[in-house]
Amino acid sequence: MSFKAIIALSVLGLVGAQQTLWGQCGGINWTGQTSCGSGAVCTYLNDWYYQCLPGTSTSSRTSTSTSSTRASTSNTSSTRVSTTSTSSTRVSTTSTTSTRVSTTTSSPSSTPTGRVGKLPALGWNSWNAYRCDINETKLLNAANQMVSLGLKAAGYQYVNIDDCWSNINGRDPSTQQILPDLNKFPNGMASVASKIHSLGLLLGIYSDAGTKTCSGYPGSLGYEAIDAATFSSWGIDYLKYDNCNVPSEWQDNWTYPDWGQSNSAIRYRQMGTALAAQSRPIQYSLCIWGAAQVWTWGASVGQSWRISGDSAPTWSYITSVIDRNVAIIDYTNFYGRSDMDMMEIGNGDLTLAEERTHFLMWAALKSPILLGTDLSLLSTDQLNIIKNKELLAFSQDELVGAPAKPYGTATTTPPEYYSGKSSKGVHVFIMNTSSSTSTKTITFANVPGLGSGSYKVHDMWTGTDVGTFSGSWSTSLGSHDSGGWLITPA
C-alpha cells in the first residue's frame, strides 16, 4: 500500500490504531496501542517499556500488569536493544550477576536499571571544579583525596567525569564507538576505571541525549546501544545523561497528557534500556533540568533526575532549588529521587553557615550528593560538614526511602521546618532563611509522629544529646544556618 493510500485510509478511520515509530507499545501498566505501524516492530526493551523500533516483521505486545522476576537477558522473542556485555569487576560487595532485583507489580521499587542506586549517590564530579579542563591526573587526584581525606570511609563512592572527556572530532569511523580524548586521558577510559576500582571507588561518565553534549562533544542520541555497551566494557558504573542539542524531531510538542510518553521520556528511556541490557550495573542519572515533568516518570527510567538548571555557589541557588524540590517531594524514594545538582561547598563566597545548610538540606531531602570542588583545598570545617555521620546516615538509610518533608504552615520560601523518619526515629531539620540570628522552636505535638509529651533531643551536627524537654524545645540559629535533631520519646 502506498504512503498516500495509508494516509487516506487513516483519515477515513479505516486503518486500525497503531503506534507510531519510536512510540511505546507495551509494558507494565501500559494501556495504549500495542501494535506498530508499517515499518516498525513492537520490541521488548524491559518490563516497563516496549517500543516501536524500525523493522519489518509485525508483532504486538499486550501490557503486562503482573509481577515478574526477570534476569536482564531477555526472555521474549523480541529484539533487544543490545546484547553486548563484558565481564565486570565490581569493587563493591555488589555481585556482578545481572538478576533483576524487582518483583513488583504496578509501582516498581526498582527501575529498569535499578540493580544499583537504591540510595542517593555519594561521590564527586569534575564539572563544578574544572569545567572542561579535565584529565586523568585531576581525576585520579580527586579519587586519591577521597580516600586520604576519609571521604570514602564516610560513604562517598563515585568519581564522576563530566563533559569534555571524549574526542570532540567524532566517533570511530568504522565501529561508531565514542572515543576518549587521548590528550586528556592518554591511557583510555578502561585504564582509568581500573585505577579507580583499585581504590575501592566507582567511576562515572557523562553523555547527552542529543546530537552533541552541552560543550559540543559527541552525543549519544541514536547511539544508545553502542555507547551503553562501550561504557560497560570500560567498567563504567554511573552515567550522567545531559539534555543539550536535541534535534527538532525529538523536541517535545507540549501536548502530552502523560509526560512519560513525551519525546524527552523516550530519549531518556532509550539510554536507560540500553544500560539495562548490559551485564554491568550502571547507575543512571537524568540531567534533564526539570523538563518534561520528569519527576512523574523519572523513577521508571533512572535513579535520579535533575530538577533545575545548573547550580551556582550562591544562597539564592540553594534556596530556590530547595523550594523547587519541596513542591515535588513525594516523588523521591528508594531508587528514584530529585537531584538538586552537584555540591558547591568550597566554591564561590558561600559562608560556612550556608555550606552547612547546603549539605544538611541535600541530605535531608535525599538528593544525590556529588562534591564539586578541588578536594585538596577544603578546610577542616568544610570536611567536617561533608563527613557528618548522622546526616549521611539519614541520607543513606537502608530502611526508609522517603526524604524529610516540610511540616506546619510555612511562612517562608522555602519552608524552614522539616521532619522525616529514619530507622532511628523521627528527625527535625530547620533552616534559618532570614538574614539575622533567630530563635527556632520545635513544638513536639506539631511534628508528624510525635505528640505532646516529653522527648529527648539529640543534635545531629555534634552527635551529642541536648537534653529532655516537655512540649517544646527552642534553639538559636545564625543567619542561613541549619540544624538537624533526632527526637525520641523520653
| Binding residues vs ligand GLA (CB under 6 A) | 127, 162-163, 213-215, 242, 287, 310
Q: Phi first, then psi: what are they for 181, rounded to 5°?
A: -80, 110
Least Å from the CB of residue 306 to ligand GLA = 7
Looking at 47, 163, 242, 341, which residue is catalytic? 242
By beta-carbon proximity to ligand GLA, the closer residue of 264 and 482 is 264
Least Å from the CB of residue 128 to ligand GLA = 8
CA angle 171, 173, 175 (to 5 degrees): 85
By beta-carbon proximity to ligand GLA, the closer residue of 30 and 124 is 124
Looking at 133, 310, 381, 465, which residue is catalytic? 310
What the block records as the C-alpha cell of 344 is 558547591
Least Å from the CB of residue 225 to ligand GLA = 23
By beta-carbon proximity to ligand GLA, the closer residue of 250 and 461 is 250
User: Going by C-beta distance under 8 Å and a sequence separation of 6 or more, which residues neighbour residue 140?
Assistant: 192, 195, 196
Q: Do 323 and 361 form a contact (C-beta atoms < 8 A)?
A: no
339 is an active site residue: no
Alpha helices in 242-345 (DSSP H): 263-276, 315-327
CA angle 367, 373, 378 (to 5 degrees): 105
For 220-261, give the DSSP string.
Answer: -TT-HHHHHHHHHHHT--EEEEE-----GGGS--S--SSGGG
Least Å from the CB of residue 341 to ligand GLA = 7
Least Å from the CB of residue 456 to ligand GLA = 41
By beta-carbon proximity to ligand GLA, the closer residue of 212 and 424 is 212
By beta-carbon proximity to ligand GLA, the closer residue of 322 and 430 is 322
167: nearest Cα among 147, 151, 184, 152 = 184
By beta-carbon proximity to ligand GLA, the closer residue of 166 and 213 is 213
Residue with cell 568519581: 159
Q: Do 196 and 210 form a contact (C-beta atoms < 8 A)?
A: no
Q: Phi first, then psi: what are they for 268, rounded to 5°?
A: -75, -35
Least Å from the CB of residue 310 to ligand GLA = 5
310 is an active site residue: yes
**Catalytic residue set:** 242, 310
